[in-house]
Structure 1
Amino acid sequence: MRVQPFVPYLTGVCLAATALLALELHQGERPTAGEPAAQVPPPSRAVAGARSAAPAAEPQRFRTDADLPAGPPVPQRGAGTWRVVPGTFGTTGTPYSVEVEDGVVPPRGDAPFAAVVDHALAHPRGWRSAGHAFRRVDASGSPQLRIRLTSQDTARALCGFELPYDTSCRIGSSVYLSAARWLRGAHAFTGNLRGYRTYAVNHEVGHFLGHGHETCPVDGAPAPVMMQQTFSTANDELAAITSGTDQGVAITPDGRTCAPNPWPAR
């Protein structure tokens, strides 16, 4: 999820499908308030046409911490358009909207998803600790950042599937949070789904702010929020999982393992 501000970027697991990005980044048009900044074809077509979409049959491999944990059914397909969750939050800072892909129905509705996003962006240990403020707008506002809960297939088509793991990503001014991860989390955060969700928001917003990936600096320390904790908090395993891909950072298998951490301020 290496960031190149406001252009598509390749980060191993956050690879943007070129055909889909053209809709958002190359048209040169800004949608009216409340309309999605990008539309993708129905995922059944989008995934089939994406450069790094999942192969028809994956080779057998051993389980790693990067695999999606077991859990409830996940929204596999969406419409490729997003609805804005009504409501505002905060009064100053970068305006953002909270959106849910049409066809995705969170178990408790859209509002709890928005509440987690609001909490993550307003918390003193969040990006506020680095001097960044955010305020939420809805269909009547003009967001500079869109945070979108996205079906499994759409997330894979947009974020890429070079590595065979569900992930989220930031493309331009939009953050795409995989609903599969939102509902099941990651092995590093076992037993702390709320913590993982907070991490996912802060990690992808960190890319929006211009931050790249990091590794575990000290054995036993809290993991940097820009570490790919969705995959692992151990440098050895992260290096093995991402071998042969460009993550924007040199990952040295040095035996260091950090504790999961959802916050920019450790």
Structure 2
Amino acid sequence: MGFGVLLLLAATATVTLARAGDRASVPATGDGRRTSYAAGTDERPRPSAYPRAGTGDFVTAPGESPVRGTDGPLLHYRVAVEQGTGQDVDSFAVAVDEVLGDPRSWIASEELRLRRVAEADDADFTVYLATPDTSERMCAEGGLSTEGYTSCRLPGQVIVNLARWLEAVPDYGAPLAIYRAYVVNHEVGHELGEVHQACPGPGEPAPVMQQQTYGLDGCAANAWPYVDGSRYDGEVVPGT
């Protein structure tokens, strides 16, 4: 075998070995999920738990809920889920209804009543469940930057980020159901005119208007504006 042939075989072997150590990326699927796997192994691609993007169109929960609360003005809300999220609008509506109708929620003030409706013309605000990309775009229309991570509220729009709804946040220290109740009460609280509050002190419950998604600052996770039958607050965070 000639010297030139030996050089060619050696070069080919080097390229083959280099490629075997690469990470191969599977292109995004139609719903925005991405997967990756190590080339040359038997590891299967594992999709994300949620799509980054949906269709941008929303389906509204049908029907109405009972009136929640004992006194005060009656506000009406709708519930809508983005298509392409894999989430059932009726199930999301039930979850929102249970949070807002809980005796520890905003109706405990006895100065507010709430009822879910189906028609946009009848609603004072809408609670949306949206993918990270769609929620970021919706929030940005009101001048809010969420980086596709947090939920937000704009006038008449409570926008819940699908990723947070499904995964909460790292080190939250409470079950997912508690975070879900928190995010609904927090963003609806903004719709009701509430502003951000600070942790009162280490080990104390976090006020529901604390930005718990960004960290608890030593407080314990808390989903409710009323604790032990009384309104629970922290100091107002200036400028929020």
| TM-score interval, normalised by the smaller of the two chains | 0.5 to 0.7
Are residues 217 and 231 of structure 1, via their aligned partners in 2, closer, same or farther at CA, if it must alter by over 3 Å?
A: same
CA contact (8 A) 2:133 2:148 kept: no
CA distance in 2, matches of 1:122, 1:138: 17
Secondary structure of the corresponding residue to residue 150 of structure 2? coil
Q: TM-score, normalised by structure 2?
A: 0.66
CA distance in 1, matches of 2:102, 2:157: 21
Question: What is the aligned partner in structure 2 of residue 124 from structure 1?
Answer: 103
CA distance in 2, matches of 1:84, 1:139: 8
Question: What is the aligned partner in structure 1 of residue 223 from structure 2?
Answer: 262
* Equivalent of residue 152 in structure 1, options 103, 126, 132: 132
Percentage of matched positions with identical amino acids: 37
* Equivalent of residue 233 in structure 1, options 216, 222, 234: 216
CA distance in 1, matches of 2:127, 2:154: 11
> What whole-Å deviation, never above 9, does each CA across 1:171-200 have from its counterpart, x for those lacking one?
110111000111101224345111111100
CA distance in 2, matches of 1:183, 1:157: 19
Using CA pairs under 8 Å that are at least 6 residues apart, name the structure with larger relative contact order, 1 or 2. Answer: 1
Are residues 258 and 200 of structure 1, via their aligned partners in 2, closer, same or farther at CA, if it must alter by over 3 Å?
A: same
C-alpha RMSD of matched pairs (Å): 2.4
CA distance in 2, matches of 1:77, 1:163: 15
Q: TM-score, normalised by structure 1?
A: 0.60
> What whole-Å deviation, never above 9, does each CA across 1:207-247 have from its counterpart, x for those lacking one?
0001111110122111000000011010xxxxxxxxxxxxx
* Equivalent of residue 195 in structure 1, options 155, 166, 178: 178
Question: What is the aligned partner in structure 2 of residue 62 from structure 1?
Answer: none
CA distance in 2, matches of 1:202, 1:149: 14
**Deviation (angstroms), 1:78:** 1.8
How many equivalent residue pairs? 174
* Equivalent of residue 135 in structure 1, options 89, 92, 115: 115
CA contact (8 A) 1:89 1:135 kept: yes
Structure 2: gaps spanning 5 or more residues: 1-30, 33-46, 69-73, 228-240
> What whole-Å deviation, never above 9, does each CA across 1:58-86 have from its counterpart, x for those lacking one?
xxxxxxxxxxxxx9511211222211111
CA distance in 1, matches of 2:124, 2:146: 30
CA contact (8 A) 1:95 1:135 kept: yes
Query: Which AA in structure 1 matches 2:75?
Result: T
Structure 1: gaps spanning 5 or more residues: 1-42, 45-70, 235-256
**Deviation (angstroms), 1:158:** 2.5
CA contact (8 A) 1:188 1:260 kept: no
Question: What is the aligned partner in structure 1 of residue 8 from structure 2?
Answer: none
Secondary structure of the corresponding residue to residue 116 of structure 1? helix
CA contact (8 A) 2:173 2:221 kept: no
**Deviation (angstroms), 1:87:** 2.5
Query: Which AA in structure 2 matches 1:86?
Result: P
Do structure 1's residue 77 and structure 2's residue 57 form an aligned pair? no
CA contact (8 A) 1:122 1:133 kept: no
Are residues 122 and 114 of structure 1, via their aligned partners in 2, closer, same or farther at CA, if it must alter by over 3 Å?
A: same
CA distance in 1, matches of 2:107, 2:171: 25
CA contact (8 A) 1:79 1:102 kept: yes
Query: Which AA in structure 1 matches 2:137?
Result: A
Question: What is the aligned partner in structure 2 of residue 98 from structure 1?
Answer: 79
